[in-house]
Amino acid sequence: MDQIVVLGAGVGGAMSANMLRRRLDSSDAEITIVDKSTQHAYQPSYYLLPFGYMEPEDQFRDVSEVMQSGVEFLQGEVTGVDPDAKTVQLADDELSYDYLVVSLGHRLAAEATPGMMEGWEDTDSVFPFYYFDAAMEMREALQDFDGGTFVVSVPDTPIKCGGAPLKMTMLAEDYFQRQGIRDDVDVVMTKGGDAVFGVSPYREKLEEIWSDRDIEFRGGFTVSEVDPDEQVIHSEDGETQEYDFYAPVPPQYGQPALTDNSPLTEGDDEYDGEYVTVDKHTLQHTEYEDVFALGDAGNTPNAKTAAAARKQAHVVVDNLESHMEGRPQTAKYKGYAACPLLTKKGKAMVAEFDYEESISAPVESRMNWIMDINILPSFYWNAWLHGYDPLP
Ligand SMILES: Cc1cc2nc3c(=O)[nH]c(=O)nc-3n(C[C@H](O)[C@H](O)[C@H](O)COP(=O)(O)OP(=O)(O)OC[C@H]3O[C@@H](n4cnc5c(N)ncnc54)[C@H](O)[C@@H]3O)c2cc1C
């Protein structure tokens, strides 16, 4: 009987394990999924919670509720992987595998920017909203905010959902309009790069929207330090930006269990060894053929999103099954990612693209908002996570 171990019960891991369970006969393969948390979180809600556009109690499910019967859930912290011995180290256990699927996501690291954690913990003006708790604290603080400079910043590390800081900026600007305080607020987003969004034609459309709505974009500004006492952020080039309310995206890295305690991330220049090195089309590890990786943890050069992990799950499942049966791997991931860019309450533009080209038109519509807020979460919880995907 083959042992398949899936690391991480987030989007990529849960989907892959559930799809594999339905594909493979239970007398041929045992599937175990490991996560340190017993809860799966719907992370795309984190830029909506501060404005009350989604509610916290709807954003979590028990992992055991999400998994198909026949997938064993093991709660435990992965501390390392030895792909030569084919073992996974846990904080207090060890697992052997025949095939491994890695989907441990990104590590959020607010502490990597001096002053960011202190600002969050010790003041009422810094909210790294990629953490659920910060998003909820921001919700409370926004009710007391009556004017000043509102700043969002983007770090120079890869981040999950590159659109999230843009959505936070635009939704905040619109929220201030609705609160009747827009004339008293300067809205600013800083970023190391010189483009508000990397992919055309969405970039041009966003530039138009930001210009119309007087949102300032400070490109070439990578935050090096936060001074929470003076309410100032410093850039690597010695520039400064004052804030009264600050919603930074924290720096993000690979998981230490993989970067420090496995060879799975070695040999990757572009990402500095932070991510699991896989073939960008087959998602099979470049050195260890029994290992596949997907989602934010992989070094594929796509936009890290749940939408991408969803597409990748199909490829991993197809190729892993082929590999197990000694057939050629024919499934190819083409870099698909999608990001619903919520431009204001009731309006959104979907940026959908792959390695080669943009797919959707750069159009703001009410239908896009309804799809993202009212329809997608239900698909996410009731179909995709369970491995049912009518539009693979
Ligand atoms: C604010 C925000 C907004 C977003 N908006 C969107 C959006 O609009 N659209 C979109 O498509 N995507 C969005 N995303 C991105 C999306 O949530 C991620 O890309 C997606 O969750 C990646 O899936 P994954 O399986 O790679 O990682 P995750 O879903 O993060 O899962 C990783 C899992 O690994 C577990 N884990 C980590 N380390 C260990 C360890 N050492 N031991 C055991 N378990 C461990 C974690 O507990 C977690 O369950 C957003 C993310 C954030 C934070």
CA distances from 112 to 23, 157, 259 (A): 42, 11, 16
Q: State how beta strands 99-102 and 60-62 pair.
A: unpaired
Q: What percent of the chain has pLDDT over 90?
A: 97
**Model pTM?**
0.96
In this prediction, residue 392 has a pLDDT band, given cuts at 50, 70 and 90, of: low
pLDDT recorded at residue 30: 98
Q: Are 88 and 81 in contact (CB under 8 A)?
A: yes
Predicted confidence band at 271 (pLDDT cuts at 50, 70, 90)? confident
Residue 75 contacts residue 36 (beta carbons within 8 Å): yes
Going by pLDDT thresholds of 50, 70 and 90, the confidence category of residue 293 is: very high
CA angle (351 as vertex; 346, 357 as ends), nearest 5: 165
Entry field: residues in the chain:
392
Rounded distance, CA 279 to CA 287, Å?
Answer: 10
Say if ligand 1 is within 6 A of residue 43 CB.
Answer: yes
Question: What gap in Å lies between CA 23 and CA 6, rounded to an integer?
Answer: 15
3-state secondary structure of 129: coil
Q: Is the separation of the CB atoms in 270 and 91 below 8 Å?
A: no
State yes or no: cis peptide before 201, omega within 30 of 0: yes
- H-helix or E-strand containing 297? none
Whole-number mean pLDDT of the chain? 96
Coil/strand/helix, residue 302:
coil
**Atom from ligand 1 closest to the CA of residue 8:** 34
Q: Is 297 in the pocket of ligand 1 (CB under 6 A)?
A: yes
What's the CA-to-centroid distance between 216 and ligand 1, angstroms? 29
| Beta bridge mates, 216 | 188
326 CA distance to ligand 1 middle (Å):
31
* pLDDT for 99: 98
Of 108, 161, 341, best ligand 1 pocket probe by most atoms within 8 Å of the beta carbon: 161
Ligand 1 pocket test, pick from 42, 43, 95 with the greatest ligand atom count within 8 Å of Cβ, gives 43
pLDDT at 257 over 90: yes
Predicted confidence (pLDDT) at residue 270 exceeds the cutoff of 80:
no
Q: Look at domain 2-106+254-335 and name its CATH class.
A: alpha beta
pLDDT-based confidence at residue 390 (cuts at 50, 70, 90) = confident
Q: Which of 386, 323, 321 is nearest to 23 (CA)?
A: 321
**For ligand 1, is residue 311 a contact (CB within 6 Å)?**
no
More confident position, 269 or 367: 367
Is the pLDDT at 241 greater than 80, yes or no? Answer: yes
pLDDT in tens, 339-372: 999 999 999 999 999 999 999 999 999 999 999 9
| 152 DSSP β-pair partners | 189, 247
**CA gap 91, 79 in Å, rounded:** 6
**269-274 average pLDDT score:** 78
Predicted confidence at residue 194, as pLDDT, reads 93
Query: Which ligand 1 atom lies nearest to the CA of residue 63?
Result: 49
| Strand-pair category, 87-90 with 78-82 | antiparallel
**Confidence class for position 391, pLDDT limits 50, 70, 90:** confident
**pLDDT tens per residue across span 295-336:** 999 999 999 999 999 999 999 999 999 999 999 999 999 999
Atom of ligand 1 nearest to the CA of 256: 41
What does the DSSP 8-state code read for residue 358? B
Quick check: 120 pLDDT over 70?
yes
Over residues 36-54, the mean pLDDT reads 97
pLDDT at residue 272 above 90?
no
pLDDT tens digits, 370-382 = 999 999 999 999 9
| Domain-wise residue ranges, the chain | 2-106+254-335, 110-252
Closest CA to 8 of 43, 54, 50: 43
Question: Which residue is it, tokens 């052997």?
Answer: 96
Distance 328 CA to ligand 1 centre (A): 30
Assign 197 to helix, strand or coil. coil
Residues 11 and 168: their CA atoms lie apart, in Å, by 22
pLDDT of residue 269: 64
3-state helix, strand, coil in the chain (%, to 5): 30, 25, 40
pLDDT band of residue 224 (cuts 50, 70, 90) is very high
Of the candidates 283, 278, 279, 276, which has an alpha carbon nearest to the alpha carbon of residue 261? 276
Q: Which fold has domain 110-252?
A: FAD/NAD(P)-binding domain (3.50.50)
Any ligand 1 atom below 6 A from CB of 162: no
What pLDDT is stored for residue 298 in this prediction? 96
**53, pLDDT greater than 90:** yes
Residue 264 CB–ligand 1 contact under 6 Å: no
C-alpha of residue 195 to centroid of ligand 1, in Å:
25
Kindly report the three-state secondary structure assignment for every residue of 212-274: HCCCEEECCCCEEEEECCCCEEEECCCCEEECCEEEECCCEECCHHHHCCCCCCCCCCCCCCC
Instruction: For 305-316, give the DSSP string.
Output: -HHHHHHHHHHH
Whether 9 shows a pLDDT value over 90: the answer reads yes
231: its two tokens: 């309410």
As a whole number, mean pLDDT of residues 141-154 equals 97
Confidence of residue 268 (pLDDT cuts 50, 70, 90): low
Mean pLDDT of 35-61: 97
